[in-house]
Chain A
Amino acid sequence: MQEPKLLGSWLETARERAGAFKILLYLVLAALVVLNFFIVPHEPEFATEKLPGFWALFALAGTVVMVVVLKKIVYPMLAQPEEDTNDRS
């Protein structure tokens, strides 16, 4: 089946405008944190949840620590040469 060409070229244009998407992401993230000052859980499941920005920090710190520890420390210890040279269908 043929993939739609128009959609493909639209995605190609979108890629060229990656800078604009980046600014949009920052704006959305800022808006979410601002909203978090007004919207807090009624019955917090975790004590720290009442602090605005807690989950933002949790996700950011979680990602950064996970990537650094796993890629820089754990990965070199676990990596072995690839055995399968035949991942071809």
Chain B
Amino acid sequence: MTGLEHLGIHFFLHPAFGFLALALVMAFLKNSHYQIWRWLLLVPPVMAITVVVSLTMGPSGPRDLATFSYLGQTLHLGRVDTLSLVFAHVFAIQSLIGFIYALHVPDRAQHIAACLYVAGAFGSVFAGDYLTLFIFWELMSIGSVFLVWLRGTPTSTAAGFRYFLFHIFGGLFLLGGLLLRHAALGTFAFTAVAPDAARYFDYLILVGFLVNAAFVPLHAWLPDAYPEATITGAVFMSAFTTKTAVYALARGFAGFELLAIGGCVMCVYGVFYATIENNARRILSYHIVSQVGYMVCGIGIGTAMTVDGACAHAYAHILYKGLLFMGVGCLLYSTGSAKLTELGGLASRLPLVMIGYMVGAVSISGMPLFNGFVSKTMTIAGAAEAHHTWLALAMELAAVGTFLSVGIKLPYFAFWAKPKNDMPLKPIPWNMYLGMGISSLLCLFIGLFPQSLYKLLPFPTEYTPYTTWHVLQSSLLLGFTGLGFYLMRRIIPPHPSRNLDFDFLYRAIGRGFVKLVSVPTAAVDNIWTEVYARVGLRGLLSIGRGTNVFDGKVIDGVLDGSARAVREDGGAAVARIQTGRLQDYLAAAVALGLLIFVIVWLVK
């Protein structure tokens, strides 16, 4: 492999680079020409896959492949080791699947947002220091919030703002933690912290990571915002934000007891909410919380087997969760609704969508032959082996609940339940089917050949998923969950509602804050107006008479000239820029920030 080692070292092209470059290029393209430029969307993912696969063939030790100095700090953009590679590997594959699924979308803004988002995810997993991590971490937040906003509905706008505020909140914890850590230790290096040596700044950083990992009770942004994202945006979002956080936790905080218990709470919490939810995309969102719970729990237990299990599960999860979001996305695209109460009886009219969805559903449920089986059982067995029997049992219960909601309830009410549905269906573009097809095959392939996944894991593993007992146990669990559903079929039908979760608390805090600011401000303003009217105006009027003379004679002459220039040359442009939409100002701020970054770098 010596030749390939050199290849890896000398030709490290950061996968984020392609996505950033494409985002820049797309800024100059027109939506009307999308039939031509849309093929460019596949270039950065293919480049990313090539780079990552070539890196997996290199030497196994950690490598620092891309460093550069910026403002007196050394940024490490290319820390490559087995842990970063397993995440980068599946990120690269999923980015290709995501862009294939989105090929029909003629809106370049959505593609730019997705590119920035994916670039942020790659930048984060290859970041060797907290400063680099923070920059890409925030890029991810910005890219993803536009995937919500660009849906363009009032609820998506509101949900996007809540999402963004919450991520800023998490980002500030991360920033505060890393700066305090630098002040105390003199380094930005992103390395593992031993649980008994963790200090307050490590916990601040941990909170920042936990926000993105949707750790209960910091999770509510996820089921709030993901169901409001664009159809193709939700497919991207299901893959990157939480899994980058899982990577960061595995890198920095393995073995923290808090994560083991909290992860288990996530597992069952997500499942419980999904059981009573009606919106299909919100059911899947709650199951992200639940599935990420397995990973967080595995990392918290912190043995080689459970950390491996967490990584394997993240890999498998990205594929099947993307597939599930693609399936439900097809339903939403075709019927116009993702609410189970409005669907039903579609199996015979959308059979391929149903089959694709079901592959994802049995994968997430851990059915033998599919990828969820080879990753989920690893985490649970690892937990039991480390004598965390109760945690393992809770994860088994969550597995039952997963099959109940995602494996049976959702498809039953979406595809069966009612007699054949006659609602008008919009034809689904071929590329959406292709994205689902590739994901389905990968879910099956990894389920059939688990070594293809295990060989990427950070620790060598001896785990064998396919024993007679494991297969029988899983079959018993799934089969009798099915029987339970059948017995409960009169109670379980969903109802249209929005169920209280922690996001209602955020909203209450937000409203309270607005009141806190606006009520005293209004009171002060009232008094001021009164005082001004009685005292200030009289004085001002007499001064005004004096200045009026000066104004009329001198100033007007000068201003008339410049006003004419503004009106004729710049006024219209300025008015166009000032849209009054915070989203636009945020985009402008990011562009300006990147520009300053580049200028400083070049001048240095």
Contacts and interface: CB of A to CB of B under 8 A. Distances in A.
Contacts of A60: 480-481, 483-484
B41 to A, nearest CB: 19
B470 to A, nearest CB: 9
25 contacts: A2-B427, A3-B349, A3-B352, A11-B347, A25-B479, A28-B479, A41-B473, A46-B384, A46-B389, A55-B476, A58-B397, A59-B484, A60-B481, A64-B487, A66-B404, A68-B491, A71-B491, A77-B500, A79-B499, A82-B496, A86-B155, A87-B339, A89-B231, A89-B332, A89-B336
A8 B276 contact: no
B498 interface: yes
B4 to A, nearest CB: 40
A32 to B, nearest CB: 5
Interface in A19-54: 22, 25, 28-29, 32-33, 35-36, 39-42, 45-46, 49
Contacts of A68: 488, 491
A77 B272 CA distance: 14
Contacts of B381: 45
A12 B155 CA distance: 37
Contacts of B354: 11
Interface residues of B, number: 72
A62 B498 contact: no
A35 B475 CA distance: 11
A30 to B, nearest CB: 10
Given A63-B487, A87-B332, 19 more contacts: A11-B354, A36-B476, A55-B476, A55-B480, A56-B480, A58-B396, A58-B397, A58-B480, A60-B480, A63-B480, A63-B483, A64-B487, A71-B275, A74-B272, A75-B276, A79-B276, A80-B498, A84-B228, A87-B339
A31 B336 CA distance: 42
A82 B483 CA distance: 31
Given A1-B430, A55-B476, A67-B491, A39 B400 contact: no
B469 A39 contact: yes
Contacts of B275: 66-67, 70-71
A17 interface: no
Interface of A: 1-4, 7-9, 11-12, 15, 22, 25, 28-29, 32-33, 35-36, 39-42, 45-46, 49, 55-60, 62-64, 66-68, 70-72, 74-75, 77-84, 86-89
Interface in B441-465: none
Contact of A63 (B351, B352, B393, B404): B404
A49 to B, nearest CB: 8
Contacts of B404: 63, 66-67
B40 to A, nearest CB: 23
Contacts of B500: 77-80
A46 B498 CA distance: 38
A29 B469 contact: no
B420 A12 contact: yes
Contacts of A62: 397, 400-401, 481, 484
Contact of B478 (A3, A41, A59, A82): A59
B345 to A, nearest CB: 9
Contacts of B518: none
Contacts of B472: 32, 35-36, 39
Contacts of B195: none
Question: How would you classify the secondary structure of chain B's contact residues: helix, strand, loop or mixed?
Answer: helix
Given A2-B427, A46-B384, A9 B272 contact: no
Closest 5 CB pairs of A and B: A63-B484, A45-B384, A59-B480, A79-B497, A8-B348
Nearest to B480: A59
B153 interface: yes
Contacts of B276: 70-71, 74-75, 78-79
Contacts of A4: 351-352
A33 B498 contact: no
B34 interface: no
B484 A46 contact: no
Contacts of A3: 349-353
Contact of A11 (B338, B351, B469, B498): B351
Contact of B153 (A1, A71, A86): A86
B333 interface: yes
Contacts of B401: 62-63, 66
Contacts of A74: 272, 276
Among B231, B381, B475, B495: residue with most chain A CB under 10 A: B475
B433 A63 contact: no
B339 to A, nearest CB: 6
A5 to B, nearest CB: 9
Given A58-B477, A67-B491, A80-B500, A45 B392 contact: yes
A61 to B, nearest CB: 8
A25 B486 CA distance: 11
